[in-house]
Amino acid sequence: MKTKANFLEKLGLNIRTQREKAGYTQTDFAFRVKMARRYYTDLENGRINPSIIHLMRIAFALGVDFSEFVPRGFSEKHLTDGD
């Protein structure tokens, strides 16, 4: 079953994939996008719900559109658990 937690995990995985493709370590990339390493690690691991500003900052730094991060196959009902 798809849930908000699954969405955040997939979002983080998509970001990690793009970061690794670009050749950055988590630590170096967190510094590049001016985020605390712990926050950035939690983002990639799906433990936090990042703001659109953070997603845009990451996308700009990687030279991709932030839509590359958005998991496919989810609907609004999947994203409302626990809110």
Question: pLDDT tens, 30-75?
Answer: 999 999 999 999 999 999 999 999 999 999 999 999 889 988 887 7
Domains and CATH numbers, the chain: 4-73 (1.10.260.40)
Count how many residues are written for the chain. 83
C-alpha 7: how far from chain center: 10
Question: pLDDT tens, 18-27?
Answer: 999 999 999 9
pLDDT at res. 78: 64
pLDDT at res. 61: 97
Tokens of 21: 């493709």
- Among 42, 44, 36, 38, smallest CA distance to 17 is for 44
Distance CA 37, CA 5 (A): 21
- Statement: the pTM of the whole predicted model exceeds 0.85: yes
